[in-house]
Amino acid sequence: MAVPHRRHRTSLESVIVPEPQHLTAEEHGKAIELFNTIIHYFEPLQESTKEYKPITLVRLTKEEISVKDEFLLLFFTFIERDRFGISEDEQKKICLAETVSNMQNFQRWTNEERHALGHSLVKFAMYLIDNFFLPLKALATKTPQPTPASVSRLMSSEPAIGTPQRVSNLRHLCLVRDRHRCVITRKFDALEGEARYNIHGDQLTDDEGNSLLPESSDMALLEVAHIIPHSLMSLSNIEGEPKLTERKHIAHKILKMFNPTAFHLIEGTDIDRPMNALTLTHDLHRLFGNFEVAFEPVQNQEHTYRIDFVKTKRIWRAYNLPVTRELFITPDRNIEPPLRQLLEIHRAIARILHLSAVGEHIDRVIQDMEKLKVEPVYSDGSSRIGEYIKYKLAHQLGWTHVH
């Protein structure tokens, strides 16, 4: 078998994500079998990579998503295009069955050919990072918090249309639903406590009528935290019209693979619905948004979760985690509770980032970018991270041990 000819490609971003389609049972079976064989062969060979585990990232992503067919199509389309330098127009003609058949005996290829396949796998991991995990992680802690002015507008008759008004409205709804308490620590909101003290003095009570005086020194400033990042769904002004950037378009397609039904519930402005938000302290908002803390559903207990650090072996274990909490529900259910499926997506992504070490790798890259005073990811999903991360990975992801 000849070594694939490699044409010049300007960017990994130009890869077209295949349109949703279903494989036949036979196609699915053969694709899964080949994927598993490739991963089983190359995953042990990634030990020379110290920064993170790219092949493990690919495997874990496939394991955690629910729409396997679309992921397999994306994976094999990318690999085929990278190996043969296929253009975007030619990519549309790629046949999965033919691709699987051509790669079936990759273990019999020459060392050079397997070396090239290993590089393609690493590039696919980079593609997932650059277009999905990096913007998701970098934007997740950037839930815009309402300003006093936006809160004031919320209290007026002005309809909540724009982003500041929607987020102010969301914060108000979440505080009411969560009884003005952090859903993890149960600390009462300091601003609300101060407001009640100004009105009721020492007679101030919480939402259940209990005195707040014993908690006066243990309140906290609470924030609204999106489960799926607010900025990930926002549109950008492209040619004078609000549209998704190419990067966000790819991110949406990948996110949808985790749970298509849940994704459709938070499209557009629905990203700011209470089902996609929690009330948290500032510190826990940062940890949750950074995918360091996750919610694991407790079986047979509705709205109940075991909350813990994803990385259990750590020197800093604050907030008495793990804890089990039943999330607050309004008596008449007029405010949506956090959607279990969204919390499950968040936890799945957190597990992928941790077990592949990609989360810590992205943290280091973002810290390096901040030192250079370069924003890692802008709110529209664009960034200069692509060039930087490729530069960093070029000498960190050497594939020298493929035999």
- The answer to whether residue 237 is domain-embedded is yes
CB 249 within 8 A of CB 132: no
- The answer to whether residue 401 is domain-embedded is no
Considering the domain architecture, whether residues 133 and 172 belong to the same structural domain is answered as no
- Predicted TM-score (pTM) of this structure: 0.82
Considering the domain architecture, whether residues 66 and 161 belong to the same structural domain is answered as no
State the pLDDT confidence band at 222, using cuts at 50, 70 and 90.
very high
Considering the domain architecture, whether residues 70 and 195 belong to the same structural domain is answered as no
State the pLDDT confidence band at 155, using cuts at 50, 70 and 90.
very low
State the pLDDT confidence band at 247, using cuts at 50, 70 and 90.
confident
Considering the domain architecture, whether residues 178 and 84 belong to the same structural domain is answered as no
How confident is the model over 262-280, as a mean pLDDT? 92
- The answer to whether residue 301 is domain-embedded is yes
Considering the domain architecture, whether residues 107 and 172 belong to the same structural domain is answered as no
**Better-scored residue on pLDDT, 336 or 240:** 336
Considering the domain architecture, whether residues 68 and 192 belong to the same structural domain is answered as no
Q: Domain of 216? A: 148-355
- The answer to whether residue 219 is domain-embedded is yes
pLDDT at 337: 95
Considering the domain architecture, whether residues 118 and 52 belong to the same structural domain is answered as yes
> pLDDT for 19-32, tens place per residue?
556 788 998 999 99
pLDDT at 238: 58
Considering the domain architecture, whether residues 197 and 343 belong to the same structural domain is answered as yes
> pLDDT for 86-130, tens place per residue?
666 555 566 888 889 889 999 999 999 999 999 999 999 999 998
> Helix (H, G, I), strand (E, B), or coil: what is residue 28?
helix
Considering the domain architecture, whether residues 133 and 176 belong to the same structural domain is answered as no
How confident is the model over 217-232, as a mean pLDDT? 91
| Number of structural domains in the chain | 2
> pLDDT for 281-318, tens place per residue?
999 999 999 999 999 999 999 999 999 999 888 777 77
Considering the domain architecture, whether residues 108 and 59 belong to the same structural domain is answered as yes
- The answer to whether residue 6 is domain-embedded is no
> Helix (H, G, I), strand (E, B), or coil: what is residue 165?
helix
Considering the domain architecture, whether residues 109 and 195 belong to the same structural domain is answered as no
Considering the domain architecture, whether residues 26 and 128 belong to the same structural domain is answered as yes
- The answer to whether residue 403 is domain-embedded is no
